[in-house]
């Protein structure tokens, strides 16, 4: 795994303490970092992304040692999950401490916390000595960045420093779990699966209910390319391509196999059938297809309805919903 030079980390810490934005890698996606205790800096995150003010942010820490600054209460279930999955791709939603900025929580009485595992993220957080908000470093609702060049493509000079940690290992955002009022609830699927959560704490509810806290990625449409995206069953892919190509339209396809017939004016990516590899490449593949000149639609083969594919399926469904909206 890539390790940043000390001079780069020092420059990034200086920028953060000055209230500027620093993009940095995590094992999931690149985050847009700002001092979570600085209201003006946090406001810059919302402005750079075009993010709605009521949409909460995740506070990133280097370890649980600073939790008392951010969390009012740490339930036993949260303790068990943190011990098992931190550092790693798990975000816990907990009762917030009094001092936490309302802009960070979206005005809610809860705060989302994660301890990322990426070495560069750990270097930065340890050197900074506090919490950083770090939503995905892209325009709100668009494809998350998994490479440093994606950040510059999306946000340009709005980010003072982009720490290069190479390509993100996992490629989809963290699993989000709320531990509130004696209940554990999965609010966003990620690479930590429902089965893995239940193996640690037993009963885990799935999906938001009325009154559940708002969390990142919880809107109906999200994670979307600019080109309209449509999910198609595997057996209907070629038929759908033909029906849309009647007028010579240029199309793109993200599939789990090679095409069954030769197709003209179609850019086709075979992402394979392994869920981890598919997730790792998902956003990069969609960015590639989004750049196909003259492309009018991206067709995506429906992925299996199994737990291993929950995170990918969630992202694709929200990307497709964005096209409808």
CA distances from 185 to 42, 257, 276, 300 (A): 27, 35, 23, 29
Distance between CA atoms of residues 285 and 184, nearest Å: 34
Q: Does the pLDDT at position 2 exceed 70?
A: no
Distance between CA atoms of residues 186 and 196, nearest Å: 11
Tell me, yes or no, whether 13 and 145 share the same domain: yes
Tell me, yes or no, whether 175 and 44 share the same domain: yes
Contacts of 306-309 spanning 24+ positions with Cβ under 8 A: 307/193, 307/194, 307/195, 308/193, 308/275, 309/275, 309/278
Tell me, yes or no, whether 244 and 202 share the same domain: no
The reported pLDDT for the residue numbered 263 is: 83
Tell me, yes or no, whether 236 and 314 share the same domain: yes
The reported pLDDT for the residue numbered 244 is: 93
pTM of the model as a whole:
0.96
Tell me, yes or no, whether 12 and 139 share the same domain: yes
Share of the chain above pLDDT 70, in %: 99
Number of H helices, E strands in the chain: 10, 14
The reported pLDDT for the residue numbered 164 is: 96
**6-15, 32-41, 244-253, 264-273, range with the lowest pLDDT:** 244-253
3-state secondary structure of 60: strand
- Structurally, the chain folds into a number of domains equal to 2
* Look-up of token digits 């955002």: 173
List all residues 6 or more positions away from 76 whose beta carbon is below 8 Å from its beta carbon.
none
Of 181, 189, 232, 61, the residue nearest 130 (C-alpha):
61
**Tens digit of pLDDT for each residue in 92-128?**
999 999 999 999 999 999 999 999 999 999 999 999 9
Tell me, yes or no, whether 138 and 284 share the same domain: no
The reported pLDDT for the residue numbered 211 is: 80
- Contact yes or no for 212/310 (Cβ under 8 A): no
Distance between CA atoms of residues 143 and 227, nearest Å: 11
Tell me, yes or no, whether 289 and 149 share the same domain: no
Tell me, yes or no, whether 119 and 181 share the same domain: yes
Across the chain, what does the average pLDDT equal? 95
Q: What is the CATH number of the domain that holds 87?
A: 3.90.870.10
Tell me, yes or no, whether 99 and 201 share the same domain: yes
DSSP designation for 213: P
The reported pLDDT for the residue numbered 325 is: 56
Distance between CA atoms of residues 91 and 179, nearest Å: 10
The reported pLDDT for the residue numbered 212 is: 86
Tell me, yes or no, whether 202 and 238 share the same domain: no
**Tens digit of pLDDT for each residue in 259-317?**
998 888 899 999 999 999 999 999 999 999 999 999 999 999 999 999 999 999 999 99
Return the structure tokens found at 58. 């995740």
Distance between CA atoms of residues 2 and 202, nearest Å: 36
Longest Cα separation, the chain: 62
Q: Does the pLDDT at position 1 exceed 70?
A: no
Question: Positive or negative, the Cα torsion across 98, 79, 63, 208?
Answer: negative
Residue 133 pairs with which residues in a beta bridge? 34, 59
Distance between CA atoms of residues 73 and 154, nearest Å: 37
Full residue range of the structural domain in which residue 164 is found: 6-206
**Tens digit of pLDDT for each residue in 137-157?**
999 999 999 999 999 999 999
Q: Does the pLDDT at position 4 exceed 90?
A: no
3-state secondary structure of 164: coil
Q: Does the pLDDT at position 33 exceed 70?
A: yes
- Asked whether residue 214 is domain-assigned, the answer is no
The reported pLDDT for the residue numbered 204 is: 97
Tell me, yes or no, whether 196 and 288 share the same domain: no
Q: What is the CATH number of the domain that holds 271?
A: 3.40.50.11030
């Amino acid at each position: 795994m890539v390790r940043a030079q000390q001079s780069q980390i020092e420059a990034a810490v200086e920028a953060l303490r000055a209230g500027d934005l620093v993009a940095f890698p995590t094992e999931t996606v690149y985050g847009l970092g700002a001092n979570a205790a600085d209201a003006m800096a946090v406001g810059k995150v919302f402005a750079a992304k075009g993010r709605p003010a009521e949409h909460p942010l995740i506070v990133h820490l280097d370890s649980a040692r600073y939790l008392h600054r951010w969390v009012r209460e740490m339930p036993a279930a949260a303790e068990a999950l943190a011990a098992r999955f931190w550092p790693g791709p798990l975000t816990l939603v907990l009762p917030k401490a009094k001092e936490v900025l309302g802009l960070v929580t979206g005005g809610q009485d809860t705060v989302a916390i994660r301890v990322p595992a990426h070495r560069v993220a750990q270097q930065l957080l340890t050197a900074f000595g506090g919490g950083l908000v770090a939503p995905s470093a892209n325009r709100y609702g668009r494809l998350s960045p998994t490479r440093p060049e994606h950040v510059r493509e999306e946000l340009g000079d709005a980010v003072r420093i982009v720490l290069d940690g190479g390509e993100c290992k996992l490629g989809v955002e963290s699993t989000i779990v709320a531990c509130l009022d004696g209940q554990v609830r999965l609010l966003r699927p990620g690479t930590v699966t429902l089965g893995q959560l239940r193996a640690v704490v037993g009963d885990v509810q799935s999906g938001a209910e009325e009154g559940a806290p708002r969390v990142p990625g919880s809107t109906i449409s999200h994670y979307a390319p600019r080109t309209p995206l449509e999910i198609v069953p595997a057996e209907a892919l070629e038929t759908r391509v033909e029906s849309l190509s009647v007028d010579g339209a240029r199309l793109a396809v993200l599939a789990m196999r090679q095409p069954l017939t030769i197709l003209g004016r179609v850019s086709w990516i075979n992402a394979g059938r392994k869920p981890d590899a598919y997730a790792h490449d998902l956003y990069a593949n969609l960015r590639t297809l989004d750049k196909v000149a003259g492309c009018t639609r991206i067709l995506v083969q429906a992925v299996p309805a199994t737990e291993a594919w929950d995170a990918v399926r969630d992202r694709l469904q929200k990307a497709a919903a964005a096209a409808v909206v």
